[in-house]
Amino acid sequence: MASPEIEVIRSTRRTRTAQARLVGEKIEVRIPARMSQADEQQVVADLVAKVQRKTTSSRSSDEQLLVRAEELNRQVLRGQARIGSIRFVSNQQQRWGSCSLATADIRLSDRLRKVPDYVLDAVIVHELTHTFISGGHTPEFWEWADKVPQAERAKGYLEAYQRFG
């Protein structure tokens, strides 16, 4: 994420905690209204770095995506998936990902660059599962695809992102 806009919101309701989240292309940081300027600078810097780590790790190149997919294949799918290539594409607006069964090439919507790691992992495992389970989204397919950690949470995240993102 290159130089995102940062909005600091001081809240009288907050007394001790601070929070940051990505909203579109902007990072919103909420802090207590009484926080000193020096504390604000440190807290904002720490929280912005944390948000950036969560949203950009392992996503800067196709090679890094491939390494991630291979690791998920080993850890979650017991090495059963075939991986041709994996990359982000900008022309996929209705789907999160797609997989060519003939070549095992996986394409991920570039909208996924902004999601937490567990969500990206769930989409990658979903597409990898298509390479070794035939017949579409069968019960057996979901048994494998849902083995990724936080699968249900990821589905909820993507549903909300699709509606409100």
CB atoms within 10 A of CB 34: 11
Residues 80 and 133 in one domain: yes
Q: What pLDDT is attached to residue 124? A: 97
The CA dihedral of 139, 145, 151, 157, to the nearest 10 degrees, is: -90
Residues 77 and 110 in one domain: yes
The number of C-alpha atoms within 13 Å of 87 and in the hemisphere containing its C-beta is: 8
Residues 49 and 79 in one domain: no
Phi, psi of 37 (to 5 degrees): -60, -40
Residue 113 pLDDT grade (very low, low, confident, very high; cuts 50, 70, 90):
confident
Q: What pLDDT is attached to residue 103? A: 95
Domain that holds residue 72: 62-164
Residues 28 and 108 in one domain: no
Percent of the chain with pLDDT over 70: 93
Residues 37 and 70 in one domain: no
Mean pLDDT of 59-82: 90
Entry pTM: 0.67
